[in-house]
Structure 1
Amino acid sequence: MRLDLREPQEGRRRKKRRVRSRTFESALALPQIHPRRKKARRLRRKRPARPQPSRTDVAAAVESPRWGWRGFFRRLPVLLLLLGLIGLLAYGSADASFFIYEAEVTGAERLDPAAIYQAAGIHELNIFWIRPEEVEARLEALDGVKAARVRCDLFPARVAIQVEERQPLVLWRALVQGHDWWLDEDGVVLPYHGDPADPQVLFVVDSSDRALAVGQTLQPPGLVESVQRLAEALPGVRVFFYEAERGLGFYQVQDGRQWAVYVGGSENLERKIQALRALTDYLTAHRIQPRYVDVRWPEHLVYGQ
């Protein structure tokens, strides 16, 4: 006996219709409403308020020229001038006509002009690189040069050097060296000689142990000046002597008689000269012939017989 377990087709169809009708009815009768999701608000940072331009700023921005053809033509003369200066500088730095190969040296009577030019340190230098004050300092450091002046010209490029030499006024004989040195008015030992026959030249014989050299200044200061002042105050006296203990002195000659006069240092020289004149008048009036006169201390005159 067979049992048919399958449902009848009509039942299955009804079932399907019911399900479909339910689904259709529920779709029509009860529409599903989904709640809207709120969009996440983005937090925006507050930007600082922009400052409003003032009237002066607006006017300046309107009046300020913009870089364009008009601005280019306005700046064109400045650019041309700048290019011209750069070209002139390059030309002056490279052209051989602006370099120094010789100089005009004047005032050098005893010194060699070629040596002065070499000491100036300007050979083959560009005229724009030469500083006259530095060249003058180098020249004044030379022995025998008292002062120097340097002038530079551009067109044409040339340098003129004018020197003032020290004049030899005193012939100083150092017995310890057996040598004669020429000194100028400042007591500077010179590298050249003067003229012994010149009536302005004075002579000093130094018996101390002093040793001199070219360029050195005689010590103590003022000795040459004292010799000159004594020569002016005592006509006919041109020869002096210097001793380590008694200092400066000379030989005074009067009426065929001669005696040594010790002056000492340069201090109170005018007072010493006045005291010497007074003492000479006293000795002449009393017919005293001294062997020496010492005026190193004007308040205490000493003479020996």
Structure 2
Amino acid sequence: MSRKENKAEKENRETLTRKRRRRLRRRLLKFLLLVSLIAASVTLWNLPFWRYAGIVTVRGNRIVPSEAIARKIGNTDLPLFRIDPKGIETRIEEIPEIEKARVRRWLFPARIEVQVNERIPFAQVSQKVFLDQLGNRFSAPIQHVPLFVVLPIPYTDQSKETFRRLVALWPPEATGAIDLSLSEDLRINLKGIAVRLGKIERAEELDEKFKTFYRLLPLAERYGNRLEYVDLRFPAAPTLKCKLSNSQTCKETGKSPSPSSPSP
């Protein structure tokens, strides 16, 4: 082997050695960076400002106590970023009085803020049981509301749909009662006037019956307390049932009562 070939081989070995050393240095640097990252993560994980300290701010609640809402947060032995707001919202919305919940997380100090929308009582079922405008039942220690409802057993989706339609047709702020207990004969008391609506196959049937009722309302008001009820079971042939000794009925004519008719 010539001297020139020996020199070239020596240079090749030196080049390979330098490349191996550079690879080792890069691997060592990557390993050190990984260890540093793990150490920093562990340190950051255990910093006190991440730890939820049990501080809860509840806003928007008037019926449900803040303590009852705070209990729904659950496990607090976690860093704040590991607490799932959506899971907390779902658990809070399981409370019957809560319609919607929104949960946010804050730092400095680590705390949770809960904003709730409570159900608005539209009708009363019993002393502490109410319905919202969608027909959802819930209990609450609140004052009497102007509309009273008798529910059927069981309280089905069809009953809810009928109630929702009645709510949509009900005059604002009007007092009265709705009796849903008999599926064959829905009855209401609106503005002091008893009304028999009969069997409701579809909630939309109420629209026509309410239109007929408002057309008859001036006539019914003239009869006053001598009127027993307005019969709208057959809206094409409505009847005003009067409290007469001979059980006479007063057919709706669209006119005022005649002189011989009872007047308030």
- Which band: TM-score by shorter chain? 0.5 to 0.7
Partner of 1:86: 38
1-side partners of 2:109 and 2:240: how far apart? 70
Q: Which residue of 1 aligns with 2:161?
A: 222
Q: How many pairs does the alignment contain? A: 219
> 2:113 maps to what in 1?
160
- Residue in 2 that maps onto 1:186: 134
Please state whether the residue corresponding to 1:190 is helix, strand or coil: strand
The residue aligned with 2:188 is 249
- Output one character per residue of 1:155-194: Cα deviation in whole Å (capped at 9) or x when no partner: 6533222222112221223xxxxx4522222222223133
Taking only aligned residues, the RMSD between alpha carbons, in angstroms, comes to 3.6
Task: Give the alignment of 1:1-305 within 5 angstroms.
Answer: 66-69=19-22, 72-73=25-26, 76=29, 79=31, 81-102=33-54, 103-154=56-107, 156-173=109-126, 179-196=127-144, 201-206=145-150, 210=153, 220-232=159-171, 237-242=174-179, 243-244=181-182, 245-253=184-192, 259-264=193-198, 265=200, 266-280=203-217, 290-304=227-241, 305=249
In 2 relative to 1, CA 84–202 (structure 1 residues): closer, same or farther, beyond 3 Å?
A: farther
If you compute each CA radius of gyration, which structure gives the higher value, 1 or 2? 1
SS at match of 1:148: strand
Deviation at 1:73, TM superposition (A): 4.9
Q: Share of identical aligned residues, percent? A: 26
**Alpha-carbon separation, structure 2, partners of 1:218 and 1:101:** 43
Equivalent pair of 1:166/1:184 in contact (CA under 8 Å): yes
Kept after mapping to 2: 8 A contact 1:99/1:124: yes
> What one-letter code is carried by the residue in structure 2 that aligns with 1:262?
R
User: 1:270 Cα shift?
Assistant: 1.9
**Amino acid paired to 2:98:** V
Say which SS state the counterpart of residue 143 (structure 1) adopts: coil
Contiguous gaps of at least 5 residues in structure 1 = 1-61, 174-178, 254-258
TM-score relative to the length of structure 2: 0.66
Shift of 1:238: 0.7
| 1:231–1:238 Cα contact (<8 Å) kept | no
Aligned partner of 1:33 in structure 2 is none
Render the CA deviation track for 1:124-150: whole Å, top value 9, x for unaligned. Answer: 222232111111111111221111111
Counterpart secondary structure, 2:139: coil
Question: How far apart, in 1, do the equivalents of 2:121 and 2:167 lie?
Answer: 13
Given that residues 128 and 139 in structure 2 are in contact (C-alpha distance below 8 angstroms), is that contact kept between their aligned partners in structure 1?
no
Shift in CA distance, 294/252, structure 1 to aligned 2, threshold 3 Å: farther
2:62 and 2:37 map into 1 onto residues whose CA distance is 43
Over 3 Å counting, the alpha-carbon distance change for 1:85 and 1:165 in structure 2 is farther
TM-score normalised over the length of structure 1: 0.58
**Which amino acid in structure 1 is aligned with residue 175 of structure 2?**
R
| Structure 2 spans left out of the alignment, 5+ residues | 1-14, 242-248, 250-264
Query: 1:116 and 1:285, CA in 2 relative to 1: closer, same or farther beyond 3 A?
Result: closer
More deviation, 270-279/85-94? 85-94
Q: What is the distance in 2 between the residues matched to 1:184 and 1:157?
A: 35
Cα distance, 1:113 vs structure 2: 1.2
Bigger RCO (CA 8 Å, 6+ sep)? 2
8 Å Cα contact 1:252-1:261 kept in structure 2: no
**8 Å contact 1:187–1:223 — kept in the other structure?**
no
